[in-house]
Amino acid sequence: YCAAKWNGKLFVGTNQGVFYITENELTSPNVLSKMKMITGTQGQVWDLKVIDDRLYCGHNKGLKEILPNLSIIEPYPIGTGIYTISEAKIQDKDLLILSTYQSVKIIDKKSKEVFSPGQISEPINNAEVDHLGNIWLEHFNRGVYRCKLDDGLSGFRSFSYYGGNNKDSLSYKMKLFKVGGRIVLLGDSKFYTYDDIANKIISNTVLDKCFETISYIK
């Protein structure tokens, strides 16, 4: 599901846990048989991310951190499964953004506080922050949200919903990612982007043209 190189090792996240191998073993014969599981990571692993030279693990049982000696700690009390981990600077604060089984969690890296904006209490399997400080949330199986955090980080000042059950002609299920630092949405093999001047979702004609001969894009 994910992988990261850190501290002279390659770490691989699977549905059984996190496995690792030293970089100098990567060219040896039967390389997969040399991989070892890290005790304490058993279960579904969704994401591995190196942030501030720390290795975080998005896990079915919450947020874990793998230390250089390969022991495991839980650096923040999250209390639910984590799909993705990303970092962002919003309101001059350095944040971790976690998409989780129960909406999104915001961590202030300096104060170490964990915030749970309450307006959206649904599974979110991806989160991205755009150049305007909007947090985009991909619902587990329908639509996306564009959200603006309030000054206290504990809630959303405003949010808009696209796709899903809306009558906005957008696909029911939308995938969320970034291209060139800009938010891009993909649904039914069509690409979209956010026009912040018009404040609406528009077709991404460049990407549509690139993939016009291909169906069922993932």
Task: Note the pLDDT of residue 119.
Answer: 87
Q: Which long-range contacts (CB under 8 A, 24 or more apart) does 156-162 make?
A: 156/117, 156/119, 156/120, 159/119, 159/120, 162/201
Sort strands 156-162 and 200-203 into parallel, antiparallel or unpaired.
unpaired
Choose between 120 and 15: higher pLDDT.
Answer: 15
Mean pLDDT, all residues of the chain:
94
3-state class of 207 per DSSP? helix
Query: What's 102's DSSP letter?
Result: T
Global pTM reads 0.91
Per residue in 67-109, pLDDT tens?
Answer: 999 999 999 999 999 999 999 999 899 999 999 999 999 999 9
AA identity, residue 157: R
Distances (CA, A) of 35 to 8, 18, 50, 153: 14, 10, 20, 40
Residue percentage of the chain with pLDDT more than 90: 85
Task: Note the pLDDT of residue 44.
Answer: 98
Q: Which residues pair with 63 in a beta bridge?
A: 58
Phi-psi region of 112 (alpha: psi -120 to 50; beta: other; left: phi over 0): left
Residue at token pair 């970089």: 23
Residue 13 and residue 57 in contact, taking contact as beta carbons nearer than 8 Å: yes
pLDDT greater than 90 at residue 41: yes
Q: Give the model's confidence band at 181: pLDDT under 50 very low, under 70 low, under 90 confident, else very high.
A: confident
pLDDT greater than 90 at residue 138: yes
Task: Note the pLDDT of residue 215.
Answer: 87
Task: Note the pLDDT of residue 166.
Answer: 85
Task: Note the pLDDT of residue 194.
Answer: 94
Cα of first residue to Cα of last residue in the chain, in angstroms, is: 15
Interval 49-67 mean pLDDT: 97
Interval 143-158 mean pLDDT: 92
* Distance, CA of 148 to CA of 90 (rounded, Å): 10
Q: Give the model's confidence band at 165: pLDDT under 50 very low, under 70 low, under 90 confident, else very high.
A: confident
Residue 21 and residue 34 in contact, taking contact as beta carbons nearer than 8 Å: yes
Interval 198-211 mean pLDDT: 95
Task: Note the pLDDT of residue 188.
Answer: 93
Tokens, residue 211? 């993939």
**Got the DSSP string for 123-181?**
-EEEEEE-TTSPEEEEESSS-EEEEEE-TTSSSEEEEEEESTT-SSSS-SS-EEEEETT
pLDDT greater than 90 at residue 154: no
Task: Note the pLDDT of residue 115.
Answer: 94
Q: Give the model's confidence band at 167: pLDDT under 50 very low, under 70 low, under 90 confident, else very high.
A: confident
